[in-house]
Amino acid sequence: MSDNAVDGDEVAHVADLARIDLEEAEVERFTEQFGEILSAFEALDEVPETNRDADLTNVMRPDEVRECLSQEEALRNAPESEAGQFKGPKVS
Amino acid sequence: MTDYNGYIATDTIEGAEDGPLAGKTVAVKDNISTKDVQTTAGSAMLEGYVPPYDATVVERLKDAGATIPGKTNMDEFGMGTTTETSAYGAVENPVAEGRVPGGSSGGSAAVVAAGDADLALGSDTGGSIRCPAAFCGVVGIKPTYGLVSRYGLIAYANSLEQIGPIAPSVEDAAELLAVIAGPDERDGTTRDARDNGTDYEFAAAADGDVDGLSIGVPTELLDGADEAVVETFWDAIDELESQGASYHEVALPSVEHAVEAYYVIAMSEASSNLARFDGVRYGTSGSEATGGSGDERSESAGVSGGEGNWNESFAQAREEGFGEEVKRRVLLGTYALSAGYHDKYYKKAQDARAWVKQDFDEALSEADVLASPTMPVPPMKRGESLSDPLTMYLADANTTPVNLANLPAISVPAGETDDGLPVGLQLVGPAFGEQTIIRAGSALA
């Protein structure tokens, strides 16, 4: 089992990208577990390159106005709203 | 409520007076949206979230006359194999004391096994219907990708998941599947069975006639399995043989890599899907999440409108609202998609997915169905999986290949181990071959 696939700094970096704060103890635990899990994922190196031409077609519909949620319904679950809009934190 | 914690909430939703499900109770997994009834997906992040609309499958249940007796407990956002990662507490197996009910639809399987609901809906991203059905000794169907609308399902990994039925018998499961199946203009990935050479007469297919049925047994899916499970599996195959079916061994070399490919793809999709939980439009904002018992939602304690900036607020809300397994998967998915690693993990996983599809197509060109144990192990003891995520992931070895290949599969009770633990038999069919697996499964349950 290789425990050095990732170090604590990398886990912290990924957590930052994913916008999730982690406690120190979580960083330590994840660093160890990610080492194990990522080395298991290494098995994918043995997978041959495979033709992936899936039989897919786009699904389109006319872009027409239709019934939708009211403003009140759309805001119902927001922790905070103001003047009919979602209220979020400052941008900077 | 139940003493094994099968429900997160027991608000009753009444359906129409008449219909094929009139007089029946159908419990609904808590990641399926119910208008005006709290839907948490097992997460503290969504505590108090009340959807303003019904999922398509819920609309169809109500139109069919079903009564929904409650929302069932589940692994948080569907991420787990044991229903121990819920923010609302773990579910116990009502038919195997001290064991997990399987996951992630553990509550749905448990309420059916205990007789507290006639039927239930689950969702299956990598085995989340079939695993708990197997561990609780009931029937579960994961439909062909596209047979059932996902509109209103809180997404974990869109390209893999389907909603499906859990029931005491194959016929009951088939009847419920017929109600929820069919195209939906609000889910562009749905496809009409009638355009794919079949129809929706699922219950009529549960006639138990397996005379002449050809069963392929992929040896790879037996290799690592527990001895007691393998023994029970062969007993079930013997039973099918005695009713006129025949079996032969088949090789599916690609499935050796399926579970790794599944986790890379599912975690990558999850990292993108769960980006929506920022505590602004819905969900808990920072300093608010409590999980479980919380009954207060502070209007002012959130950071969303206060000091700090977007990124800090989001990161705090997500630290507090997500449980450990969800964080683990979102972070690993973010890692697998990040610059420098995409080709190594995500691209290879997509190659593996295509390879698995090819293998299944070949094997199913020489067999009507493919059979394996649903789970390679009997239900685990409660608490032993949480500290060892990799071991828990590897338990999904037999179910995840089916999601990668977009195929239908059923889990039916195969019998019990000598210790009295339930074992499930998984039967996999070709795309839109629901009637074939229902017919085969109905010979046993």
Q: What is the pLDDT of residues A14-23, one digit of tens each?
A: 999 999 999 9
* Residue pair B132/B424 in contact by the 8 Å Cβ criterion: no
The answer to whether B24 is a known catalytic residue is no
DSSP code, position A39: H
Residue whose C-alpha is closest to residue B157's, from B258, B268, B46: B268
Given a contact cutoff of 8 angstroms between Cβ atoms, the answer to whether B27 and B70 are in contact is: yes
Least CB–CB distance from B350: residue in A26, A52, A59: A52
Q: Do B338 and A17 touch (CB under 8 A)?
A: yes
Portion 344-403 of B in contact with A at CB < 8 A:
344-345, 348-355, 358, 389-390, 393-394
- Specify whether the CB–CB gap between A77 and A39 falls below 8 A: no
Tokens of B166: 């859990």
Catalytic entry in B33, B43, B86, B104: B104
| A20: three-class secondary structure by DSSP | coil
Say yes or no for a CB contact (<8 Å) between B279 and A79.
yes
Task: Report residue B296 CA to chain centroid gap.
Answer: 31
- Domain regions of chain A by residue span: 8-45
Q: Which of residues 31-70 of B touch A (CB under 8 A)?
A: 48-50, 52-53
Q: Check if B128 is active-site.
A: yes
Contacts of B261 in chain A (CB under 8 A): 44, 47
- CA–CA separation, B5 and B109 (whole Å): 12
B166: nearest Cα among B396, B379, B410: B410
Mean pLDDT, rounded, for A50-69? 86
ipTM value, please give it.
Answer: 0.94
Domains of chain B: 7-259+350-441 (3.90.1300.10), 278-321 (no CATH)
Nearest by CB: A41 against B264, B305, B319: B264
Exactly one of B128, B149, B254, B271 is catalytic; name it: B128
User: What's residue A52's pLDDT?
Assistant: 82
Q: How far is residue B34's CA from residue B17's CA, in Å, rounded to a whole number?
A: 19
How many CB pairs below 8 Å do chains A and B form together?
165
Chain B contact present for A61, CB below 8 A: yes
Q: How far apart are CA B319 and CA B311, in angstroms?
A: 12
Interface test with A, best of B37, B334, B356 (most A CBs within 10 A): B334
Residues from chain B that touch A7, judged by Cβ atoms under 8 A, are none
Contact B434, B417 (CB under 8 A): no
* Bigger pLDDT: A61 vs B161: B161
Closest listed residue to residue B400, CA positions, set B55, B131, B88, B49: B131
Share above pLDDT 90 across residues of chain A, in percent, rounded to a whole number: 74
pLDDT per residue of chain B (445 residues) written in tens, 0 to 9: 789 999 999 999 999 999 999 999 999 999 999 999 999 999 999 999 999 999 999 999 999 999 999 999 999 999 999 999 999 999 999 999 999 999 999 999 999 999 999 999 999 999 999 999 999 999 999 999 999 999 999 999 999 999 999 999 999 999 999 999 999 999 999 999 999 999 999 999 999 999 999 999 999 999 999 999 999 999 999 999 999 999 999 999 999 999 999 999 999 999 999 999 999 999 877 654 444 333 333 333 344 444 568 888 899 999 999 999 999 999 999 999 998 999 999 999 999 999 999 999 999 999 999 999 999 999 999 999 888 999 999 999 999 999 999 999 999 999 999 999 999 999 999 999 999 999 999 999 9
Q: Does A83 touch chain B (CB under 8 A)?
A: no
Please report the pLDDT score of residue B302 as a whole number. Answer: 44
The partner residues of B215 in beta bridges, in order of sequence, read B247, B369
The shortest C-alpha distance from A42 to chain B (Å) reads 8
* Sign of CA pseudo-dihedral B209, B211, B214, B219: positive
Residues of chain A in contact with residue B297, where contact means CB-CB under 8 angstroms, are: 79
Residue B330 near residue B322, CB atoms below 8 Å: yes
B159 touches B350 (CB < 8 A): no
Helix (H, G, I), strand (E, B) or coil at A59: coil
Q: SS in 3 state form for chain B? A: CCCCCCEEECCCECCCCCCCCCCCEEEEECCECECCECCCCCCHHHCCCCCCCCCHHHHHHHHCCCEECCEECCCHHHCCCCCCCCCCCCCCCCCCCCECCCCCCHHHHHHHHCCCCCEEEEEECCCCCHHHHHHHCCEEEECCCCCECCCCECCCCCCCCEEEEEECCHHHHHHHHHHHECCECCECCCCCHHHHCCCCCCHHHCCCCCCCCEEEEECHHHHCCCHHHHHHHHHHHHHHHHCCCEEEEECCHHHHHHHHHHHHHHHHHHHHHHHHCCCCCCCCCCCCCCCCCCCCCCCCCCCCCCCCEHHHHHHHHHHHHCCHHHHHHHHHHHHHHCCCCCHHHHHHHHHHHHHHHHHHHHHHCCCCEEEEECCCCCCCECCCCCCCHHHHHHCCCCCHHHHHCCCCEEEEEEEECCCCCEEEEEEECCCCCHHHHHHHHCCCC
Tell me how far apart the alpha carbons of residues B78 and B83 are, in angstroms, rounded to a whole number.
9
Nearest 5 degrees, angle CA B318-CA B319-CA B324?
105
Measured between CB atoms, which of B48, B279, B310 is closest to A91? Answer: B310
Question: Is A80 in the B-facing interface, judged by CB distances under 8 Å?
Answer: yes
In degrees, rounded to 5, the angle at the alpha carbon of residue B109 between the alpha carbons of residues B107 and B111 is: 65
For B312, which residue in chain A has the nearest alpha carbon?
A19
CB contact under 8 A, A20 and B330: yes
Tell me whether residue B348 is one of the annotated catalytic residues. Answer: no
